[in-house]
Structures are given as C-alpha cells and as structure tokens.
Amino acid sequence: MSEYEVTFIVSPMSEAIEDKVFEAYDCVSGETHGGQHFITLTAKGPDAVEAIKRAAFDLAVTMGVEIDRIDFDLAARGELAYRLDKTPQAVGLWTRGERHSDNPFPERFSDVAGGVWLWGDVVGWVREVLHEDPAPGLLFPTRAEIDEANACIRRDYAEAAKSQFALHLKAAPMRAHTHVVPFRVSIDALSGADWLKVLQDANEETPQPTVMPRPKRVTHRD
C-alpha cells in the first residue's frame, strides 16, 4: 500500500465529531484564511484515487465528517522556500529557469499571487533533480487524480442521498456499531443493497488512514 497526503475541505465539525476525529487520527486540521475548515492526513491505498476514497468513506461513515471536496495543496515561492528549507533566491532561480534549465521546474498551477505550484509536483522535481526528499515516505495525488476524486464526490452525493432512507431501514441491526450519517461522499455510486454490503464490510474492517505530520506545515492555507 502506498501512502498519500490528502487534504479534505470539510464542513465545520461539532465538538463531538471533532473529538472522534482527533481520537482516531493524529491529523492536522485548521481553518484557511478564507474561513474553510480542513483536515490533512495520510491515506493508504493501491493508488491515489482509491486511497482518497477509502479515507473519505472512513471519515464520513465512521466519524460523521461532512466532506465537501479534496483540496489542492498550493504554495507560492515564499512558501516553497519555507517548506524546502531553501532561500527565496534559490527558488526564484528554479522557477525562472535560470538554474537546472535541463530539468525545468514544474509548471505553475495558477498565476494568482505571482504564481502558485502544486506541492506534490514540486516534491517530485526535488526528488528527481536535487536528490533530496522533503516528504520521506509520502506520495501526493496529481492534479488529474484530485480532479477524479472530486468528480466522484460530486457524483456520489446524489446516489448517497437517494440511498440514505434505505440504509437506515436495512442497516438497523448494525447501528450500534456503524455510524450512518447523511454524508456527501461514498466509495462508488452504489445501490442500496450494495451500500449495505459495503457498510457490513466496513463494520468488520475499515481501512484506517495514518498520519505523518510535516513539521514545517503552516497552520493557515491560502
């Protein structure tokens, strides 16, 4: 199993739900400058999208967290210098192509704020070109994988809502063990019967994401 660092944008959590999350995971959570709540953890899976699905299912069904989407971990030049423990001048040389021009720095994710980069892209470049590892043991979902995971969340919410009433009826014997909530995310667009099987399997053995906090991670994220 590979380990992927993933950031979920979530609805504000009640104190009870927040306690459950912190009791279960050594996760990083907080609020962005824009007022959005997030949870960052390390999810395990055979690939990035499956790892995200498993972690999302666990948070939503087991913990009762209402997930909105997967966030893009973006960083401007100053933040990159901080995370990589490099000077802003060095990062500027890389981003302008004035150093390591034979191995170009990753393309900007966006030109906002003078340019921001997807952290996972930068980590891959640093590993390949500088032969350093700013995030040992961790992988990061690509932009395409995050887009795919978010598409699953949007698509599955409608199916989950339709199945919710049936779940409450069919899963009654399991309610003492499995927390069923009106969640926004599921593993796949499943029928009520399929959902029952998934919940039974999850009740027996729910994949548990683990966390490897990055010491230099900032509290607020733009």
Q: Do 43 and 124 share a domain, yes or no?
A: no
pTM score above 0.75: no
Whether 213 maps to a domain, the answer reads no
The DSSP bridge pattern shows strands 74-75 and 67-70 to be unpaired
Residues 97 and 106: beta-carbon distance below 8 Å: no
Q: State whether 6 and 52 are in the same domain.
A: yes
DSSP state, residue 134: S
User: Which pLDDT does position 86 carry in this prediction?
Assistant: 97
| 154 and 100 both lie in a single domain | no
Does 45 fall in a domain?
yes
Mean pLDDT by 10 residues, the chain (222 residues): 94 90 84 91 94 90 89 96 97 95 95 93 98 96 95 71 50 45 41 44 45 45 52
Least Cα distance to 42 among 73, 88, 85 occurs for: 73
Q: What one-character-per-residue DSSP string does 43-58 give? A: EEESSHHHHHHHHHHI
Residue 48 resides in a domain: yes
Q: What's the domain range around 106?
A: 74-130
Q: How many structural domains are present in the chain?
A: 2
Would you say residue 218 lies in a domain?
no
Q: Which pLDDT score is estimated for 34?
A: 86
| b/e code 121-151 from CB counts within 10 Å (16+ = b) | bbbebbeeeeeeebbeebbbbeeebbeebbe
Same domain, 9 and 68: yes
- 91 within 8 A of 80, measured Cβ to Cβ: yes
